[in-house]
Amino acid sequence: MMKRKEFILGAAVGLTFAAAATAGGVIDWPGANAAERPTAAGRLIPSAGAAGLAFAPPQGAPLSFADIFEQVAPAVVQIDVETPVERPRGGVIPIPGLPGFGFQAPDTQQPGEEEEPRTAQGAGSGFFISADGFIVTNNHVVANATKITVKLSDGRELSGRLVGRDQDTDLAVIKVEGSDFSFVSFEEAAEPRVGDWVIAVGNPFGLGGTATAGIVSARAREIGDSSTPYTDYLQIDAAINRGNSGGPTFDIYGRVIGVNSAIFSPTGGSVGIGFAIPANIAKSVTDRLMSGQAIQRGYLGVQIQNLLDDYRRSLGLPDDQEGAYIAEVTPGGPGEQSGLRAGDIVVSLNGQPITSSTELTRRVGQASPGDTLRLEIIREGRRQTLNVRSGTRPADVNAQANPTDEDPNIQPGRPQAPAGEVVEGMTVAPITEALRSRYSIDENVRGLVITGVAETSRAGRAQVPAGAVIMQANGRPVSSVAELREVIAAARTANRDSVLLLFRIPQGNRPFVLELEAK
């Protein structure tokens, strides 16, 4: 149904890690039996779970979760939001979740009349964590909301205001006025194990007051979402659908062990793969948001990715060598100021081994701005230590760990007049002003520009693009053809069949493993 001032929009999302939060709905909260049994206001005390009983099920579990649901449901709320919808030129209203699709809105505006604002409605879930009205939900539920309405399990509707949000963990805190609200607590001391029972309560598809049950399917999941680089998710198989976002995941004692945030689905609905932000992460972030603190994280100013097997082989590193490969260093950032450079491999931070790019991102993020970070790196085959003073991570920086070698932006080029010498099927030349102009190469970039690639060569079959600049070969800066040939000769002498090149293209730095031609 469309009205003049607002449009209720909804769409299914295909195979994706789908944020589970945009569900319209007209069915009122509550549902089930949440309000049938009066519950005393204040903190909800777990029905069992003495200090020594971490996640052992009480007698009778899992015959029924009814007692747990009736205990915790009064703390779970439905969150309805209104967000502005920008009407594109041509009067086409986009459909959320389906880029490039939309529908033509009727033109009801009279001549001389100002266009009235349009909004979209969405719904999510949340839960009280204090008696005075603080509520936890997902950032993506309330981001850009112009109006927040909180529906309680007893049928009351209260106006909510945003207290704070953290995009990097997808958490937010809102508040309603009042006191003596029933609330629940995060469980930090006991960690759930794979196979432990869980209960999810929330507002799927606007239905409200809905409980689903399942088990912890996995821990410490990385879901490939660069917008939340600081979260190791709990994977659960309790049904999570649109509108469950921001709702709690409980253990069988009614303790919050996670905040439902995302699903993996080929249909847009639950297929038994849901993801919850663990309680220890959620509590530390929400505590700071409740107190009005800004969420600040450490910052190196580098783009990193995992140290792949092909990289190890090309660089002659042991098969078990772990670390994070620095693909690019931000000009003027803390890393560059302390001497980090592209091609370095970070193998430890403050004496603790670094096993992946994700681990480095999170460890740096745990540092406070101004902290000294002692990095052990491998550069051109040799280990050295650098001290970097951490900066403050900018709010608009997205994590870029694990960029792929097969970048869709890299396309083969065909310059009309290749110039230079042929090395491994690539025609390369030192950068001149004419080449900078032809390929739009930034004046700060140094290296060898590729002016042509033989289609039948290994470089050609890998679609190495003309116009790319080779800045490094096996971690060594190269500015002449002779230097590139030396690195390749050294690799052959060491019986290695590839070299690791670091390209500069318009989209940024890209490492590339070049398989050497047969002699």
CA distance 378 to 356: 14
14 exposure class (CB count in 10 Å sphere: 0-12, 13-18, 19+): exposed
Where are the alpha helices (H) located in 307-432, listed in sequence order?
A: 309-315, 334-337, 357-366
Q: Please say whether the beta carbons of 482 and 428 come within 8 A.
A: no
315 exposure class (CB count in 10 Å sphere: 0-12, 13-18, 19+): buried
Nearest CA among 119, 86, 87, 126 for reference residue 104: 87
Q: Please say whether the beta carbons of 118 and 3 come within 8 A.
A: no
Q: Is 247 left (phi over 0), alpha (psi -120 to 50) or beta?
A: beta
CA distance 137 to 277: 11
Q: Looking at residue 204, what DSSP letter applies?
A: G
Nearest CA among 189, 159, 155, 187 for reference residue 175: 159
Q: Quickly list DSSP for 341-375.
A: -TT-EEEEETTEE--SHHHHHHHHHHSPTT-EEEE
Q: Which two tokens stand for residue 501?
A: 């090149």
Kindly name the residue from 168, 170, 251, 344 that is annotated as catalytic.
Answer: 170
Asked if 245 is an active-site residue, the reply is: yes
Farthest-apart Cα atoms in the chain, separation? 83
CA distance 491 to 478: 15
SS3 399: coil
| Residue found under tokens 């009122």 | 28
Half-sphere exposure of residue 402, counting CA atoms within 13 Å on the CB side? 12
Residue 491 CB contacts under 8 Å (≥ 6 apart), including other chains = 314, 316, 474, 497, 498, 499, 516
Return phi, psi of residue 369, to 5°. Answer: -55, 130
Kindly name the residue from 80, 125, 140, 270 that is annotated as catalytic.
Answer: 140
107 exposure class (CB count in 10 Å sphere: 0-12, 13-18, 19+): exposed
Kindly name the residue from 217, 245, 261, 357 that is annotated as catalytic.
Answer: 245
Asked if 480 is an active-site residue, the reply is: no
Q: How are beta strands 92-94 and 102-104 bridged, if at all? A: antiparallel
Q: Looking at residue 125, what DSSP letter applies?
A: E
Q: Please say whether the beta carbons of 96 and 11 come within 8 A.
A: yes
Q: Please say whether the beta carbons of 213 and 65 come within 8 A.
A: yes
Asked if 320 is an active-site residue, the reply is: no
Q: Looking at residue 474, what DSSP letter applies?
A: T
Q: Which two tokens stand for residue 160?
A: 């909510």
CA distance 28 to 153: 10
The residues annotated with a catalytic role in the active site are 140, 170, 245
